Structure formats: C-alpha cells, structure tokens
Structure 1
C-alpha cells in the first residue's frame, strides 16, 4: 500500500534578550544552576510580572520577515499544568490573540522550492530544566531557563518528509539569526522543535492520527526522529491497527521514539486570560521604527556581494547562507583586496575545518585580522597556497598570526629568479636521463622536475617562477 506523510512543526525560538520575558533576571547561558532566577520566575505569592518590550520587538521583526499579520493588540493567557520545573503551576503564553498570524517561509529541498505556510507565532515563557543524570536516584531542577522569552512558531501541516522538515528548520535558523531574533544555538536549546507526524493513504484528504515528538534540538535528530516515526506508524497501520495520539520522545542513543504521555487537548490546560497582565498595545510609531531598522536579509546580501565584491553567484549564496560567515567575510574584506581568494578560502579550507569541528566561525580561534593577513600573504606571493594551508592548520590550533608563523618557521616563499634558476640547474644536471626523455616527447616528466625543485626548496619556491624557468631551460 502507498502511504504519504504529513508533518507540522512547532518551533521554539529562545529570543536573544538580556532579561526574561516577565522579570529582570538574566538570560545568560551557562550560569551555575538556579542563579539566574528571581522571585517572579519562582512564582512566589504577591509578585507581579512586567512585559519585556524587546521580546515583542523581536517577535514583530520575525512576523514582518515572513509577511505575516502583526497584531498590535495582544493578550497573554495562563496554560495550567503541573510539572516540577514549572514552579508557578502555569505557563504564561498567548492562546487567543497571538502577536503574529499567518505568513510563510520558502524552503529548498534538493532542487525543489516549496512554500510552507505559518499558522501563528506567539510569545510565551520557557519552563525550567529537569536534570535526571546528575544524582543517582534523584532528579534535579534548574530554574535558570524559567521565564526566558520564547517565540513559538506553528507551521501548517504542509511538510511531506523528514528532509523537508530539516530544510524548514534550516531556513528558520537562517532567518532568526539574520534578524537577530535568536542566536539559534541548537545545542544550548535556543532553537528546538516539536514534530507532529501522521500517515495517510496516498490520495486521502483526511489527516491521519498524529503523534508529537517533543524537543528535538539538532538537524540530524529531526531527520532521524521523523523517519523512525514514519516507519513505526506505517508498520502499525499495515498490521490493521490504530495509531495512538500521544506525545513521544526521541532517544538518540537507540535511534527510536518512545511514548511519553497521551496527547493533551487545549481544554486539558484550562486556558484563561492572564489576570496579572494588561493587553499589550504596539503603536504605529513602534511598528515604523521596527521597519526602519530592518536588517539586510540573505537574498539581499547575495546580490550586494556579487555587485560590490565581484564574487560568483554560487560563492555569494554560500557565504550569505550563514550570518556568522557573512559577517566574517565583510569584516575581512575591509582588510584585503582579493575578495575572490577570501571567498574561496571561506568556502573551502575554513568551512571544511568548521564542519569537522562542528562549530561556527565565531566559535573558532580564527580571527578576522589573521585570516585577512593569510589572504594577503598568499596574494602578494610571500607564501604559496600550499604553505598557506600549513599555516592555516597552525592558526586553527594556536590562533597565532600568520606573520609570526612565517617568520618563526622560515616559510617565506622564494621568488628570487637567480636563486630558483640555480636550483633548477642543479636538478637538470642531476637528472640527465629524465631531461633527454622529456626532450624526446615525454611531456609528463615536467611535473617530475617541478617536484624536485619543490623538494629542494621545501615547497617554498614560487610555482609560477619555477614553471617559467623550467620551460625555458628544458627547451
């Protein structure tokens, strides 16, 4: 039997504000447990929340970017449930009147471009964090995350495969980082999603029973979790059984989803308007200010890079796809004139290193100044491209300036024609048989002579000069 998959994603984006949604406690990641918490986050009696204006501005910026309707009047609601990491016993969220309605995001999966519509995006506070592996036989609670502002973005059920889901999340990551809405750090939980997955017979109009996979925080795990769930549901349906509507967790160590709890409905949470917060009204002047301060988006950067820096459309697209890479490129371009060489290094050696280490460029030891110096030294022929790669490896480890490495290791390229000619004469005199064979028509031996010269100079001879003198000498 032929089946088709229907997926909707609920994306939780931690907004990059300095303080929490309803308190002045810090949102800084990595603090000692339960140190970034105040009385409001703990939900102590008599405390009153106050709204973080910057969180609204970031949510509106996102809504504008996806061409959504911005509700200039929005209200908060209480979502009631009990869990150890939710000290108040309820979460402040937006149910009936969210800040953002509608909009869409374009994704690219393979060679196909597809539009995924957005149902809504609403503001809410994050819960704390339960820690189950710190103390034997006990669970611990860290409330540092409690109250951190979240933008929950709900897609329409229009995603058809795990690969499309990954493409959607990558597009979302690119958008929120470019907008400075979030740092998008999935490892730290700044961007995560719940995947609603269902299966139906091909051609059916009605949706199948869905399951929700909670809190997936990497592109790889999104694909693996959804693919496992698709296979699991098809297996159940082909046995003639019924899929249970429930919430499931993805276990990456076993590469499987497992049941967490039966799926709740909205009325299970007993939503009602938050009595401690008035409706929030965003003025026309504030909307205009947000529009006027709107940042440059990837497609606009691509066009500008091609015009201003004369790099290829492909290079511009790759560099502009990551905000950290784009920022690095623009800053380094101010310190070097060879933009194409800079682009080639960013897309080639530098990207390969970052992918291997699973880090962003701003998390590495590569400084803008040092990369620009490396490009300049290759461009002015102080070093060859090959030696540049060796220097780059040292830069990644130590963060030392290329000029220091060149000086301390004696790596400066030999460009003196007389010195290179003397070495070439020596190679020719030491290899008469190869010279005779080359002159007899074995042109491939030219590489042999180049290799011998490079060996004697430890790779420091200028390749262009070597080739020119060898051509003349071997005629």
Structure 2
C-alpha cells in the first residue's frame, strides 16, 4: 500500500580533506594519535593565536567542487559560526555562510535501475570540531586532535525521496571524492560524515513539512535504516493527528530507532558574522585552470570508457571501478594483455577476493605482469584454465612469475592426442547409459563426459581437444 505522504530528504555531508596539516595551523591531521597530542595555540583557541589558511586545503576543495559540477565564486569569505560545545574551544567554528566558494552543482546517481540527478546547493570550506570521548570509565574527556581539521561540507538540495536514494547518493558522492583524491571515504574514522534532513508532505503538494535532522551517522547501512525509521515515525505521528517538532535526532543502532537530541537551531541562533582574522578567499583564473587541468577521470566517465573502449558489460565496469587502485590495476593489465574482457573476468573471479582496501590504499596480492603472463600461458595452450587457478594460488603475495611455478611443479597441459583419446574411450566405456542417452539426443551430457576426462587428467588435458575427441568416440560429430 502506497503511503499518502512523500518523503523529502536532503543530505549534508562533511568531508575531511586529505591534507597533512590542519586548516589554519601546521598541526598534523593523522588519525589515531593519543588524545590532545596534535594541538597548538591556534586549534586550541588560545587568546592571540591567529589562523593562516592551508593552501592545499583550498586546492582540494576546489577540485571537489569542480568534480561535482559546481560554479566557483572568484571571491568568497569565511565566517564565524558561534556556538558552545566542549569540543569547540574557541566558542565558534570558522566556516563559510552567505558567500561560499562554490554552489549549484549536480550529482548523477544510479538507484534501483534509474538515473537521478539530485542537485547540490553548495560546497563550502570549514574546520572540524574536536571529539568528546565517553569510554574512559567514570569520566569523559575532550580530544582536540580533530579540532581545526579541514573539511568541505557538501550541502545537497532536498531532491531525494527515499532511504534507498539517499544511500545511492552517498555512495556516488564518496566514489567521486575518493577518485578525485580529496577524501579517503572512511566513515568509520569520521572522515566522511552524513547529516540527513527528513520531512514528509502529502503527495502532490509543494510546501515542505517539518524538518528533522539526523546527525552524524557512520555507515551506509545505518543511514538507510535511520532514514527509513524516521519516515515511518513521522508518518505515524501525522496519521495519529499529532504535530512534528523541528529537532535534531540521533540514531540508536542497538535499538534500531532514532532519538531526540535537542531542538533544531536556526541560522540566526549561530550569530554568523565575517571572520575578522582571515581575508577574503580569492580564486584567480590561473589557479582554477591549473586545478582543472590536474583533475583525474571521474568514476562514471571511467566506467563508460571501460564499456565503450574495452568491451566490458556495465556490471563488470562497476565492479572494477569500486576503488581507484583496483581500476588502475585492471587498466594496466588490460593494456598489457590487449583483451579487457578476459582480464576483467579473471580479476573479478580470482583476484578481487584477495584484495583489501583502506581509504585510498588497496592491497592487491599480484602484479598486472603476473596476471598477464598467466593468461598468455593459457592462450598458448601451456596450461588449462583450471591449472591457471592453481598457479594463481601459488603466486599470490609473491614476486614469482607463473612460468617459474609451472616449471617447478612440472605442470603442463596435456596435448598428446593419442593419450587423451585413450582416456576418452575409457570414460565412454565406463558410462554406457550416459553414452546411449547422449547419442539419443541428450547433448547436454557432453559436459558430463568432458568433466570426467578432465578429472582423469587432473585438469591438465586441453579442453578443446577433449571435446573434439569425445565427439569422435561417441559418434556425435557436429
């Protein structure tokens, strides 16, 4: 049964930029250091400390905005967003408000067999807050290592209509930012964080309903669950004649429900005013052209090229572009071998199960050269496809080449016609019922006989030769 209400969802995504130092000081941004060991007077908010803008953060922010199709402002300004939390020592956050450096972008998203194009209102720069740690026994502490880490906030327009669309949007956004090299996509480490604004309105109406913000959800699965729950919760309130409250809610993953955190602040509550310690951010044309020239290929463009130029089906192209290092590995092997489809199939079926990724790094257990030599040995009839899998298992996480392993194991594909013919005759004699059925028209049984011969030869016989000789022995020449 279709609900008489329509969900209206907009996402705000906080994206940590991959700089080595913070937005306004030289403290490290490395993850996992002991609490409060990567701080200085500037990110601690001590009196007299002045911010200095990180140029690399600006370059990465501009790259992100261009990758999302945003329009850039030549002049933008930073502002102070005033609020008090224990993890915000200055009492304000340096952000951008009414004059962001970019706006009016769009993201192409595949969702449930459809392509949607949700709009992006703006991408603006800001600094991160610290973190409250509540797992210290009877006490909580404030860790300010993250305070001042450079972010961009990607503010999406309320163009999403379901939890599934929201998750597809997030995945597509992360793909773009990871391939651009501006973010590592680690939700667990907090470098890619999502706030979801959810409201309901009667279907066919334009005005938005009362908006609820779901805060800092740290996995795609929880984003989908939290939004789906919140849609159901809001619908139940409205159907019972109740009124919704504009508020901020959290997600309780153990209870599987959202819970109220606080009433929702408005922009006026933050008392934004221009940051007096930073000059306007000026993006000159030469700088923008340089950043644009250094832009890598976006994942959707890479997938399209893999389909049009290398002959992959869209599903394979999607799998092989799930991470920039996997895509680069595949493309290197495809270029060396010359057949993208064969290389892609082998990587998907054998290699990917041994690959692990973390952020922008990927542990790929073989080299492109090893894979290419292995496939060429199959092409030349030196080994069978089954033997190729055995050889692959021997070269994983080594620098050994397949030819070396084959020589060491005495492994070679049997191509002796007389020897294979004798085995074919033996197999047919041992299976008279199946032979009679095949001769009677059950041609699918040919696979059974090929399998039996390959079993007898321990997978070393040439499959095509086996098939041809079995047809001769069985008298079913095609």
Q: So what's the TM-score if we normalise by structure 2?
A: 0.88
CA deviation after TM superposition for structure 1 residue 233, in Å: 0.7
Unpaired stretches in structure 2, ≥5 consecutive residues: none
Structure 2 vs 1, CA of residues 368 and 55 (structure 1 numbering), >3 Å: closer, same or farther? same
- Distance (whole Å) between structure 2 residues aligned to residue 472 and residue 455 of structure 1: 19
- Distance (whole Å) between structure 2 residues aligned to residue 458 and residue 342 of structure 1: 25
Native 8 Å contact 1:209 1:244 kept in 2: yes
1:144-164 deviation per Cα after TM superposition (whole angstroms, max 9, x unaligned): 222111110111112111111
Structure 2 vs 1, CA of residues 365 and 299 (structure 1 numbering), >3 Å: closer, same or farther? closer
Native 8 Å contact 2:57 2:150 kept in 1: yes
1:464 paired with 2:464, answer yes
CA deviation after TM superposition for structure 1 residue 106, in Å: 2.3
CA deviation after TM superposition for structure 1 residue 217, in Å: 2.4
Native 8 Å contact 1:177 1:323 kept in 2: yes
In structure 1, the partner of 2:239 is: 238
Structure 2 vs 1, CA of residues 187 and 470 (structure 1 numbering), >3 Å: closer, same or farther? same
Q: Tell me the secondary structure at the aligned position of residue 343 of structure 2.
A: helix
Structure 2 vs 1, CA of residues 267 and 408 (structure 1 numbering), >3 Å: closer, same or farther? farther
- Distance (whole Å) between structure 2 residues aligned to residue 187 and residue 393 of structure 1: 32
CA deviation after TM superposition for structure 1 residue 126, in Å: 1.0
1:390-401 alignment, distance < 5 Å? 401=400
CA deviation after TM superposition for structure 1 residue 37, in Å: 2.8
In structure 2, the partner of 1:366 is: 365
CA deviation after TM superposition for structure 1 residue 7, in Å: 0.7
In structure 2, the partner of 1:106 is: 108
Return 419-428 or 170-179, whichever deviates more.
Answer: 419-428
Return 377-386 or 101-110, whichever deviates more.
Answer: 377-386
Native 8 Å contact 1:55 1:149 kept in 2: yes
Structure 2 vs 1, CA of residues 18 and 460 (structure 1 numbering), >3 Å: closer, same or farther? same
- Distance (whole Å) between structure 2 residues aligned to residue 360 and residue 376 of structure 1: 33
1:52-451 alignment, distance < 5 Å? 52-133=54-135, 135-306=136-307, 308-312=309-313, 315-316=316-317, 318-320=319-321, 322-350=323-351, 362-369=361-368, 370-389=370-389, 401=400, 403=402, 412-428=412-428, 430-431=430-431, 435=435, 438-439=438-439, 443-451=443-451
Native 8 Å contact 1:77 1:271 kept in 2: yes
1:68-99 deviation per Cα after TM superposition (whole angstroms, max 9, x unaligned): 22112121111222222223222111112111
Alignment root-mean-square deviation, CA = 2.9
Structure 2 vs 1, CA of residues 56 and 471 (structure 1 numbering), >3 Å: closer, same or farther? same
Native 8 Å contact 2:81 2:95 kept in 1: yes
- Distance (whole Å) between structure 1 residues aligned to residue 378 and residue 453 of structure 2: 20
Return 406-415 or 22-31, whichever deviates more.
Answer: 406-415
CA deviation after TM superposition for structure 1 residue 226, in Å: 0.2
CA deviation after TM superposition for structure 1 residue 170, in Å: 1.6
Q: Tell me the secondary structure at the aligned position of residue 187 of structure 2.
A: coil
In structure 1, the partner of 2:4 is: 2
1:360-408 deviation per Cα after TM superposition (whole angstroms, max 9, x unaligned): 8953442333444444444444443344445556777x56757376566
1:436-474 deviation per Cα after TM superposition (whole angstroms, max 9, x unaligned): 665566645433432322222222322222112222223
Number of residue pairs matched?
Answer: 471
Q: Tell me the secondary structure at the aligned position of residue 178 of structure 1.
A: helix
- Distance (whole Å) between structure 2 residues aligned to residue 128 and residue 5 of structure 1: 33
Return 20-29 or 345-354, whichever deviates more.
Answer: 345-354
Q: Tell me the secondary structure at the aligned position of residue 221 of structure 2.
A: helix
Q: Tell me the secondary structure at the aligned position of residue 363 of structure 1.
A: strand
Structure 2 vs 1, CA of residues 335 and 160 (structure 1 numbering), >3 Å: closer, same or farther? same
Native 8 Å contact 1:118 1:154 kept in 2: yes
CA deviation after TM superposition for structure 1 residue 409, in Å: 6.1
Q: Tell me the secondary structure at the aligned position of residue 366 of structure 1.
A: coil
In structure 2, the partner of 1:42 is: 44
Structure 2 vs 1, CA of residues 444 and 335 (structure 1 numbering), >3 Å: closer, same or farther? closer
CA deviation after TM superposition for structure 1 residue 433, in Å: 6.2
Structure 2 vs 1, CA of residues 167 and 442 (structure 1 numbering), >3 Å: closer, same or farther? closer
Structure 2 vs 1, CA of residues 471 and 63 (structure 1 numbering), >3 Å: closer, same or farther? same
- Distance (whole Å) between structure 2 residues aligned to residue 410 and residue 91 of structure 1: 68
Q: 1:18 aligns with which of 17, 20, 29?
A: 20
Native 8 Å contact 1:26 1:36 kept in 2: yes
Native 8 Å contact 1:126 1:147 kept in 2: yes
1:341-364 deviation per Cα after TM superposition (whole angstroms, max 9, x unaligned): 11223444555666xx78789534
Native 8 Å contact 1:391 1:402 kept in 2: no
